[in-house]
Amino acid sequence: MTRPHSTIVTGSGSGIGRAIVHALAHDPDDPPQVIAALDSGYSEKVRQTRTGASVILEFSADVTDEERIAEIFDDLATNHPPVLKVAHAAGVLQQGALADTGLDEYSRVMGVNATGTFIVLRQTARTLRLQHEQGEHPGAIVTVSSNAAAVPRIGMAAYAASKAAVSALSANAALELASLGARCNTVAPGSTDSPMQRSMWHDDDDRDRARVIAGDPEAFRLGIPLGRIADPRDIAEVVQFALSDKARHMTMQEIVVDGGASLRS
């Protein structure tokens, strides 16, 4: 895809999202001219920087705000190269036993992870459809789910349900967009060294890290066969591949990147 294009990355303020921005901006084969980096934590409405070969436009945006998401897509369509890649990594964590989870807590995690994914995918589908009618090259989408979507975890019911919704929405988007030549895949990380992961730990990071790697039989949780927690870059580089033309015949797939923790065959 060596042609001028823009890329949108949600959840770009930290962790996996930030690593995706860095990986794409330093892509030796096909860096985007513009990366629209969306995150609700940015203090300015729009800020322009540069990383690698790309102009980075940092947009303060909540993925549950459909008007703001539409506004950003419209701004890119009017003022920048066409949006041909979207990496949706925005998400929040919710822990707690099912019996102890409040409806407000459940609604929050479903709002960001499930509804936010719906809003971003819907706007992307509208944009790709319009660009297709204008003769533009088809695009590619990658959403970030979790291995928790398919593997039950004690204390993770609401989060797992929200990430299962990400996977289901993405597969349906892939099917509907296939006639345009556009692709949509999902990357499902396991435990990753990010602010979200560290928020689950206590005071001793080394002990908590070792516990995650070893597993916890009392919680029916398997360990990580590769013997380490993922670096955000491990996930970002898979996202980068799935967005690239090297994956041009891959769509509707879920790629698990968890060091073997889910023991999938």
The span from the CA of 20 to the CA of 100, in Å, is 35
- φ, ψ for residue 134, nearest 5 deg: -90, 5
- φ, ψ for residue 79, nearest 5 deg: -115, -5
Q: How many CB atoms lie within 10 A of CB 133?
A: 9
The span from the CA of 263 to the CA of 152, in Å, is 13
Answer yes or no: are the C-beta atoms of 159 and 115 closer than 8 Å: no
3-state class (DSSP) for residue 166:
helix
List all residues 6 or more positions away from 149 whose beta carbon is below 8 Å from its beta carbon.
160, 163, 164, 166, 167, 188
State yes or no: is 106 an active-site residue: no
- The active-site residue, picked from 159, 170, 235, 247, is 159
Answer yes or no: are the C-beta atoms of 164 and 158 closer than 8 Å: no
The span from the CA of 261 to the CA of 35, in Å, is 32
Q: In what order do the strands lie in the sheet with 6-10?
A: 46-51, 54-60, 34-39, 6-10, 83-88, 140-144, 183-189, 254-257
The amino acid sitting at 233 is: R
Q: Helix %, strand %, coil % for the chain, to 5?
A: 45, 20, 35
Residues catalogued as catalytic: 159
